Amino acid sequence: MTKPANSRQAIILFHFADRLKAELLIASRLLGAVLPLKGEERTGGGRVFLEYLKGLEQEINLSAAQIDDPEMIRVRTVISGLIGMADSGMYQDMQEHLTWILTVMTTYAQRGLEMLLKEKLM
């Protein structure tokens, strides 16, 4: 992953990555709520979770347009795969992938924050 080249890039990187971190934490909590459900409850909960993931995918696509880093291509691919898994009801193996995306966003946010602190903008 590349580091931001200037303060503007650092602000954008920190903003989008930190925002996605929060949304990924919500996705993780929703997944945890869907896993123990059975029958119709799981079907309904799964639909809500799927729609949340679709919204998260839109946020990731918006962020990918701003975060100029090749790793964002993998992030976009993984979220698309997660949507397919959720659509098929394959919830058991999803947490590992959500955690990976969260790790990537945490790294991006940290790099942006480091530059902002170095430039005394935060």
d(CA 91, CA 7): 39
Please tell me the pTM assigned to this model.
0.92
Q: Which residues contact 115 (CB under 8 A, 6 or more apart)?
A: 3, 4, 7, 10
Domain ranges of the chain: 7-118
Do residues 7 and 121 lie in contact, with contact meaning Cβ atoms separated by under 8 Å? yes
In CATH terms, the fold of domain 7-118 is: Four Helix Bundle (Hemerythrin (Met), subunit A) (1.20.120)
Burial code (b: 16+ CB inside 10 Å, e: under 16) for 47-79 equals: eebbebbeebeeebeebbeebebeebeebbebb
- Other beta carbons within 10 angstroms of residue 110's beta carbon come to 14
- What was the pLDDT predicted at 1? 65
Mean pLDDT by 10 residues, the chain (122 residues): 86 96 98 97 97 98 93 97 97 96 96 92 82
- What was the pLDDT predicted at 121? 85
